[in-house]
Amino acid sequence: MEVKELGHLVLYVRDLERSARFYRDVLGWRPIVDGSTSPVRAPIAAFSAPSNRTHHELLLIEVGSDAAPIPPGRRVGMYHFGLKVGDSDDELREAVRTLEANAVPVLGASDHGVTHSLYIEDPDGNEIELYIDVAGVDWRADPTLVMSPIKPLRL
């Protein structure tokens, strides 16, 4: 077997409306299915990136306000997921402006050599890396560049 690509991400969320608003209005994902209006009524929402790469890339499933939170600190499980927001630092600066306009704090900013990255959290505490690939860095010719020392990002 050979995995061809990462297909989609499914997240459990406390409040579907709040999370759908974040992914739609802040991050710009295109709604595909709203479980409150679909033929099969369910507390779900599906999204695709504006690139329309596939049928859905993000599925949110509401589990309610009494669900256990993501435990803090070192733990097994997902650390973060990355979303490419463009190909230039100008696009990353635009992302910062959008985050500021929506009162979403930037938790960190890193220069990974191959990418420039911002770190945020969604309403349920899932960490998200918003990144651009650095122009002119040929990581295919030198895969070790992916493990370059991390430096602070200065936009």
Domain that holds residue 57: 9-62
Residue 86 located in a structural domain? yes
Question: How many domains is the chain partitioned into structurally?
Answer: 2
Residue 70 located in a structural domain? no
Going by pLDDT thresholds of 50, 70 and 90, the confidence category of residue 22 is: very high
50-64 per-position pLDDT tens digit: 888 888 899 999 999
What are the beta bridge partners of residue 81?
128
Q: What CATH code is carried by the domain that includes residue 137?
A: 3.10.180.10
How far, in Å, are 27, 89, 111, 136 from residue 154 at the CA level?
22, 10, 8, 18
For residue 35, pLDDT beyond 80 = no
- Do 58 and 24 share a domain, yes or no? yes
Buried/exposed code over 57-71 (b: 16+ C-beta within 10 A; e: otherwise): bbbbbbbeeeeeeee
pTM: 0.93
Residue 3: the pLDDT is: 87
Q: Which two tokens stand for residue 66?
A: 């009494």
How far is Cα 94 from Cα 90, in angstroms, rounded to an integer? 6
